[in-house]
DNA sequence: GTCTATATAGTGATAGAC
DNA sequence: GTCTATCACTATATAGAC
């Protein structure tokens, strides 16, 4: 757990990194500040000295991750290529990003599903932000443009988003089951993800054919 | 919480029903036997009298739910219609079943993701059962048959299953966010699910066109 | 900044009275 | 079958020494 790159960091930073790893693996409820301290190699009091409450420590980590994820999505939407190439590269980016961080979807989802407070917070801080509403409207405009040019079936923008999200996110959420139930090695899992990326891309694009 | 239909039931049964509701809403870790007892209106000792351990109580409920879900899937696979009609009715059945029980996907998934022991148990009790392997092989045979007749694109059976699962399950997992973040009423949510059912069916079938 | 010690509360589980 | 009482444990959080 304690690796070389950590030794010169501040305690505050080390606590945060260990906490993040444990929250990712186990979720909020199943992770205690005692366990965080044990894995850092300090006392439990120190965790509270820096972050006061467990909730506070978690919120900082959580919001940082959500923000990073939303930025990946936002960047993918600002794309000047043809709509088909834009979709290809967006899906590819989502898969590649999540391969680096396969636990992220479940981490974000778990708290969002089981904690209404987090949904409220997300709505106030992101959904209501004009920047995000603007991005959605730009996407919708592109979809309408494609449809009027007869290059795309009459599918709603929201449905495209939901289908892409479903197919991408579920791939990573179900990964522990794929690995365990089918007894796969790391390399087999990697190949499987790359395979799903291709198939998801194919399915989504085929679904938009007129 | 306590409704009329419960008054004449045995305590054992009432405990089980209340426990199921709480486990569904909050998950295993966040639900205590004390809370179960409080909502039943009995003492915490009684919960342990009937079920001995919290883990034991949970396992009974969990396995019953998983088994019921797998039976819905198994029944949908025994279908004599054309492959396209079979897929239509399977997806329709999954959506209709989950509309009655929208929390089921997250309930099953949460434990499978966060508890390796449950995955092991599932593998031993279901994945290894010849009955399920047999169902999968029958499905694969039908897919191959369609493909050789030139009526279906060369898509792997496993990919079809994963895509259907992704699009169906994610619809229900993301429901709390859809409702809260977009501030929807119950009726709007119901319409949304029915709409997704149609769109998922369309997408999957279009994805199988040669 | 980091520690020890502790307050306070909640947990799962069991023993024993009725 | 249902209760009261209690055990051993763990949790979060804080006070105060160094």
Reported confidence tier of residue B121, pLDDT bands at 50, 70, 90: confident
In this prediction, residue B100 carries a pLDDT of: 97
Q: Is the CB of A46 under 7 A from strand C?
A: yes
In this prediction, residue A126 carries a pLDDT of: 85
pTM of the model: 0.94
In this prediction, residue B5 carries a pLDDT of: 47
Rounded to the nearest 5°, which phi and psi values hold at B58?
A: -65, -45
Average pLDDT over residues A107-135: 90
In this prediction, residue B178 carries a pLDDT of: 96
Q: How far is B206 from chain A (nearest CA, A)?
A: 6
Q: How far is B40 from chain A (nearest CA, A)?
A: 22
| Cα gap B50→B148, rounded to integer Å | 56
Angle subtended at Cα A18 by Cα A16 and Cα A23, rounded to the nearest 5 degrees: 90
State whether B112 and A202 contact (CB < 8 Å). no
Angle subtended at Cα B81 by Cα B80 and Cα B87, rounded to the nearest 5 degrees: 110
| Cα gap B76→B73, rounded to integer Å | 5
State whether B114 and A159 contact (CB < 8 Å). no
Identify the structural domains of chain B with CATH numbers, from first to last. 1-52 (1.10.10), 60-208 (1.10.357.10)
Average pLDDT over residues A168-188: 95
């Amino acid at each position: 757990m304690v690796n070389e790159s950590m030794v010169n960091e501040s305690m505050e930073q080390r606590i945060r990194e260990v906490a993040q790893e444990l929250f990712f693996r186990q979720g909020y409820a199943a992770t205690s500040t005692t366990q965080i301290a044990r894995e850092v190699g300090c006392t439990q009091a120190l965790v509270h000295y820096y972050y006061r409450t467990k909730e506070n420590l978690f919120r900082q980590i959580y919001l940082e991750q959500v923000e990073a994820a939303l930025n990946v999505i936002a960047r993918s939407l600002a794309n000047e290529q043809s709509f088909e190439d834009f979709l290809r590269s967006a899906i590819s980016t989502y898969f590649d990003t999540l391969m680096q961080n396969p636990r992220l979807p479940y981490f974000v989802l778990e708290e969002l599903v089981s904690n209404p407070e987090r949904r409220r917070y997300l709505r106030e801080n992101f959904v209501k932000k004009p920047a995000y509403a603007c991005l959605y409207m730009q996407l919708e405009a592109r979809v309408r443009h494609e449809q009027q040019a007869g290059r795309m079936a009459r599918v709603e923008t929201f449905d495209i988003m939901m289908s892409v999200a479903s197919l991408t996110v579920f791939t990573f959420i179900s990964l522990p089951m794929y690995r365990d139930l089918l007894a796969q090695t790391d390399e087999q899992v990697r190949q499987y993800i790359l395979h799903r990326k291709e198939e998801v891309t194919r399915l989504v694009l085929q679904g938009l054919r007129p």
